[in-house]
Amino acid sequence: MAKIIMKAPLVELDGDEMTRVLWEVIKEKLLLPFVELKTEYYDLGLKNRDNTNDEVTVKSAHAIKKYGVGVKCATITSNSARQKEYDLKQLLPSPNATIRAILDGTVFRKPISVNRVKPSVNTWKAPIVIGRHAYGDVYKAAEMEIDGPGTVELVFTGADGSKRSVKVAEFSGKGIVQGMHNLDESIKSFARACFLYAIDEKIPVWFATKDTISKTYDGRFKIIFNEIYETEFKQKCKDAGVEYFYTLIDDAVARVVKSEGGFLWACKNYDGDVMSDMIASAAGSLAMMTSVLVSPSGVFEYEAAHGTVQQHYYRWQKGEKTSTNPAALIFAWSGALAKRGEIDNTPDLISFAKKLENAVLSSIDEGIMTGDLARLSDPQPEKILNSWEFIDAVAQKLG
């Protein structure tokens, strides 16, 4: 069988621990026999990030910008325990945060649905995708403890020296205060990324805030989102059959639970943080959640939503063939290959990506699965496979 030719490379970001081990197996068994794989490789393994003073991460993000599509393995975010474990010179920021800052992206998380694992919400027929704004609000807030009676004010000092202030509260005793912010440009990028994603996937967009209470802050999110829709995306959405719907966050939550799914839920930073965990666990398992970073300029980076599965890695190092679920990692590759195919106009690559995804889904539905899914599967599978057996079974279906 002739291998599928790629016109342009994918930017490949290798990572750490168990996901790095499986990354190799996926390439060897599921990709290289079928595709003349063209990648520009960056080793984001923790030790190499440390050796290069994180330059490799920055370079990889610029390469994604250049080529348009990247695929990333999970990576360790260093902390003091990891510094000791890997004998690191320094503590480096999370690679995902570095890449996101360079690509100016929004993260979309989508569960992989299979028939044998039913979502906890039985009305959900199609996956709910969370689009999380990843800048500002409570994640970049300034906070202060108030020790006793007094007044807290919010003061803006203009670049020209002018001042404006507003009273936050009159304290009669001890308390706490918080100041947070966001930027119009960041909210615009978020809205653009959401509409681009929804048009790509041909699904409706829901957006919700608490603008009835937070008239200025959340109100601004509502106005900007609507403005971007009206001025840049209304016609494109119409052409793609994509609807835009705004409601209050309370109403959105109630509707989501009663819905059939199949839409993009655009969330402010905190809402997205909390709701993506809710959606992931209600949909089944973290190992079945894909993640894609979409930049407003139309650049895409695909990855699994889960981390490096550290504990499984230590068991693998001791010689165990672990039952780590590679589904989201495989879908990161298929997502990236399909996007490459779409951009380069190589339909063979798109159909291969689809075939690969179907091979994973049909395997699971036939009872071929790893331990994490076996726990959730109805009916129960006859046998729990290790990762290597699972990948071999998927490879069999690719012919």
Q: Which amino acid is residue 378, in one-letter code?
A: D
SS3 5: strand
- Are residues 189 and 102 in contact, defined by beta-carbon separation less than 8 angstroms? no
Is residue 77 within the footprint of Mg ion (CB under 5 A)? no
Q: Which is nearer to ligand NAP, 332 or 350 (CB)?
A: 332
Structure tokens at 23: 């990354």
Could you tell which of ligand NAP, Mg ion, none binds residue 211, using a CB distance below 5 to 8 A set by kind? none
Q: Which entry of ligand NAP, Mg ion, none binds 308, CB below 5 to 8 A by partner kind?
A: ligand NAP
Binding partner selected for residue 273 from Mg ion, ligand NAP, none, CB under the kind-specific 5 to 8 Å limit: Mg ion
Residue 130, token pair as written in the block: 């969370």
| Interface positions, 215-274, toward Mg ion (CB under 5 A) | 273
For tokens 């071999």, name the residue: 392
- Which CB, 289 or 374, lies closer to Mg ion? 289
Q: What is the smallest separation between the CB atom of 277 and Mg ion, expressed in angstroms? A: 5
Minimum distance from residue 396 beta carbon to Mg ion (Å): 37
From Mg ion, ligand NAP, none, interface partner of 212 (C-beta below 5 to 8 A by class): none
Q: Which is nearer to ligand NAP, 45 or 261 (CB)?
A: 45
The site partner of 52 among Mg ion, ligand NAP, none (C-beta below 5 to 8 Å per kind) is none
CB-nearer residue toward Mg ion: 16 or 271:
271
Residue 206: CA count within 13 A, CB half-sphere: 22
Residues forming contacts to ligand NAP in the complex (CB under 6 A) are 74-77, 96, 286-287, 303, 306-311, 324-325, 372
Query: Which two three-digit tokens encode residue 383?
Result: 């046998």
Q: Which does 324 bind (CB under 5 to 8 A by kind): Mg ion, ligand NAP, none?
A: ligand NAP
Minimum CB separation of residue 348 from Mg ion in Å reads 38
Q: If we measure between CA atoms, which residue out of 44, 46, 78, 91 comes closest to residue 63?
A: 44
Report the residue number whose CB is nearest to ligand NAP: 307
Nearest CB to ligand NAP, comparing residues 92 and 205: 92
Distance CA(284)–CA(289), nearest Å, equals 9
Rounded to a whole number of angstroms, the minimum distance from the CB of residue 311 to ligand NAP is: 5
Say how far apart CA 49 and CA 352 lie, in whole Å.
Answer: 33
Least CB distance from residue 314 to ligand NAP, whole Å? 11
* DSSP category for residue 241: T
Cβ distance to ligand NAP smaller for residue 271 or 372: 372
Contacts (CB under 5 A) with Mg ion, residues 267-306: 273, 277
Choose the contact partner of 259 out of ligand NAP, Mg ion, none; CB within 5 to 8 A by kind: none
Cα–Cα distance between 45 and 207 in angstroms, integer? 36
The binder of 277, among Mg ion, ligand NAP, none, by C-beta within 5 to 8 A per type, is Mg ion
Nearest to ligand NAP of 326, 341 (CB atom): 326
338: nearest Cα among 2, 58, 4: 4
Q: Is the CB of residue 326 less than 8 Å from the CB of residue 372?
A: no
Whichever of 130 and 228 has its CB closer to ligand NAP, that residue is: 130
> Which residues, 6 or more positions from 15, have their beta carbon under 8 angstroms from its beta carbon?
23, 44, 45, 72, 73, 74, 75, 76, 308
CA dihedral (141, 65, 28, 50) positive or negative:
negative
- Cα distance between residue 193 and residue 197, in whole Å: 6
Cα 117 from Cα 127, distance rounded (Å): 12
Residues near Mg ion (CB under 5 A):
273, 277
